[in-house]
Copies of this chain bind each other. A is one copy, B any other.
Amino acid sequence: MDIPARVTVLERVPLFKGLRPDELEAVAREAHERKLEKGEVLFRQGEDAAHSYVLGWGRLRLDQATPDGQNVVLRFMGPGDMVGTVAVLRRIPFPATPLAIEDCVILAWSAGRTAELMTRFPAIALNAVAVVGGRVEELQARLSEIATQRVERRIASTLLRMARQSGRRIEGGVEIPFAISRNDLAEMTATTLHTVSRTLAAWEQEGIVSGKRGSYLTIAQPHRLVEIAEQA
């Protein structure tokens, strides 16, 4: 990617919202570039946070391993998402592992550069607080959900959240444009593969969702899901 191409990417990144074109160019010039093939990881949980990243193209799944070896899916990330920035600024090891679920192109800045750019362009730092704040909120919402709701409602809420974040309107409903396995969904909703399977099977019966193995999941009747997610 040459510098103008990078600028085109960075223009749409929330972290750099409000920067002038010449400022974006300065930021772009400092970046390294990294490619990741499907199945590779960007870094591993526990590693030293030497770089912060912005995802240009592709998708990542952010996984956290628990001390006893289980896995929790923290979130899916798409183009424009920042990765690892918090760990860099906190000077702590990465707390999770981002796995490429599609081929990715990623821009990277060293830890020192990251801090320096934010100091030079405070707008970036303000944007970063807002972005990270958004994640706090999302996590608080998920926490509330898991704490108070039955499994069926959590699965419904999770699908709706993903649809809202990355969904595409197509004929026949809203499509979630990347492959999510039943197991992914289980690890996102704090339940088991089995329960997810049963639940989705029932919803397919009723025509609320559709999508065969491997292909993308489509929410055919979002309003029905909302009903399930909101019922007392």
Docked-complex contact A67 and B230, CB < 8 angstroms: yes
The chain B residue sitting closest to A127, CB to CB, is: B89
Docked-complex contact A143 and B144, CB < 8 angstroms: no
What does the 1/0 interface line of A112-146 toward B look like (CB < 8 Å)? 00010011001101101110111111011011111
Residues of B within 8 A of A115 (CB): 126
Docked-complex contact A126 and B126, CB < 8 angstroms: no
CA gap between A146 and B96 in the complex, in Å: 17
Docked-complex contact B143 and A146, CB < 8 angstroms: yes
Residue A66 interfacial (CB < 8 Å): yes
Docked-complex contact B89 and A140, CB < 8 angstroms: no
**Which A50-93 residues have C-beta < 8 A from chain B?**
64, 66-68, 70, 72, 74, 85-87, 89-90
Copies in the complex: 2
Docked-complex contact B118 and A86, CB < 8 angstroms: no
With both chains docked as a complex, state the minimum distance between the C-beta of A154 and any C-beta of chain B, in angstroms: 10
Residue A190 interfacial (CB < 8 Å): yes
Docked-complex contact A126 and B133, CB < 8 angstroms: no
User: Which of A74, A115, A128, A147 neighbours the largest number of chain B CB atoms within 10 Å of its CB?
Assistant: A147
**A95-B137, A122-B122, A123-B119 in contact; A190/B147 too (CB < 8 A)?**
yes
CA gap between A135 and B132 in the complex, in Å: 9
The chain B residue sitting closest to A70, CB to CB, is: B148
Residues of B within 8 A of A187 (CB): 147
Residue A232 interfacial (CB < 8 Å): yes
The one of B86, B87, B89, B140 in contact with A139, judged by C-beta atoms closer than 8 angstroms, is B140
The chain B residue sitting closest to A123, CB to CB, is: B119
The chain B residue sitting closest to A134, CB to CB, is: B90
Docked-complex contact B139 and A143, CB < 8 angstroms: yes
Docked-complex contact B133 and A89, CB < 8 angstroms: yes
Docked-complex contact A68 and B144, CB < 8 angstroms: no
Docked-complex contact A130 and B96, CB < 8 angstroms: no
| A interface, CB within 8 angstroms of B | 64, 66-68, 70, 72, 74, 85-87, 89-90, 95-96, 115, 118-119, 122-123, 125-126, 128-130, 132-137, 139-140, 142-148, 187, 190, 230, 232
